A and B are shown apart, each in its own frame.
Chain A
Amino acid sequence: MNIFLRELKANLKSLLIWGVIVVLFVVVGTSKFTAYYENPEMLAILDTLPPAMLAAFNMQAFNLTTVTGFFGLMFTYYALMVAIAAAMWGSDIISKEERDKTVEFALTLPVTRGRVVTAKALAALVNCVALLLITWGTSLASTAQFHPDSEFYKFVGLCMVALFLIQLIFLAIGIFLGCALKQYRRASSIAVSLLLGTYFLSILPGLNKNLDFVKYFTPFKYFDAGLLLRESRFDVTFVLLSLVIVVASMAGAYLTYTRRDLYI
Chain B
Amino acid sequence: MRMNIFRQEFNMRLRSVIIWSAAMLAMLFVFTSLFTAFAPDAELLNEMMSKFPEALLTAFGMNGVNLATILGYFSFIFLFVQVCLAIQAANYGFGLVSVEEREWTADFLLAKPVGRPQILTSKLLAALSGLLITDIVVWVSSFAFIQLFKGDRTYDTQTLVLLLLSIVPFQLFFLAVGLVVSLLMKRIRSVTPYAMALGFGMYFLSVFGDMLGESVLEKITPFRHFDAQYIIQHDAYDMPLVLISVAVILVSLVGSYVLYTRRNIPAVV
Partner of B190, one of A28, A57, A92: A92
B37 within 8 A of partner (CB): yes
Taking a contact as CB atoms under 8 Å apart, the answer to whether B38 and A207 are in contact is yes
Binds A, one of B52-60, B134-142, B256-264: B52-60
Nearest-neighbour CB distance to chain A for B235, whole angstroms, equals 26
Taking a contact as CB atoms under 8 Å apart, the answer to whether B189 and A204 are in contact is no
A-B contact count (CB 8 A): 75
Taking a contact as CB atoms under 8 Å apart, the answer to whether B80 and A200 are in contact is yes
A99 cross-chain contacts in B, Cβ below 8 A: 102, 189-190
Q: Bound complex: CA of A149 vs CA of B27, how far in Å? A: 43
B29 within 8 A of partner (CB): no
Taking a contact as CB atoms under 8 Å apart, the answer to whether A35 and B204 are in contact is no
Taking a contact as CB atoms under 8 Å apart, the answer to whether B83 and A208 are in contact is no
Main secondary structure of the interface of A (DSSP, over half): helix
Complex interface residues of chain B between 41 and 69 (CB less than 8 A to chain A): 52-53, 55-56, 59-60
Are A36 and B80 CB-contacts (below 8 A) given A41-B55, A45-B55?
A: no
Nearest-neighbour CB distance to chain B for A104, whole angstroms, equals 16
Taking a contact as CB atoms under 8 Å apart, the answer to whether B213 and A42 are in contact is no
Partner of A45, one of B53, B189, B217: B53
Taking a contact as CB atoms under 8 Å apart, the answer to whether B52 and A45 are in contact is yes
Binds B, one of A153-161, A186-194, A222-230: A186-194
Q: Bound complex: CA of A21 vs CA of B196, how far in Å? A: 13
Taking a contact as CB atoms under 8 Å apart, the answer to whether A208 and B55 are in contact is no
Main secondary structure of the interface of B (DSSP, over half): helix
Q: Bound complex: CA of A189 vs CA of B193, how far in Å? A: 10
Taking a contact as CB atoms under 8 Å apart, the answer to whether A84 and B200 are in contact is yes
Taking a contact as CB atoms under 8 Å apart, the answer to whether A200 and B27 are in contact is yes
A108 within 8 A of partner (CB): no
Nearest-neighbour CB distance to chain A for B189, whole angstroms, equals 7
Q: Which residue of A lies closest to B95 (CB)?
A: A185
Nearest-neighbour CB distance to chain B for A25, whole angstroms, equals 7
Taking a contact as CB atoms under 8 Å apart, the answer to whether A189 and B87 are in contact is no
Q: Which residue of B lies closest to A74 (CB)?
A: B211
Taking a contact as CB atoms under 8 Å apart, the answer to whether B213 and A188 are in contact is no
Nearest-neighbour CB distance to chain B for A38, whole angstroms, equals 13
Supply 6 further A-B pairs (C-beta < 8 A) apart from A41-B55, A73-B211. A25-B204, A36-B212, A42-B55, A77-B207, A192-B196, A196-B87
Can you give 26 contacting A-B residue pairs, CB < 8 Å?
A29-B208, A32-B212, A32-B213, A35-B212, A41-B55, A45-B55, A45-B56, A64-B60, A84-B196, A84-B200, A88-B192, A88-B196, A96-B190, A100-B189, A188-B190, A189-B16, A192-B192, A193-B23, A196-B87, A200-B27, A204-B30, A204-B31, A204-B34, A208-B34, A208-B38, A210-B37
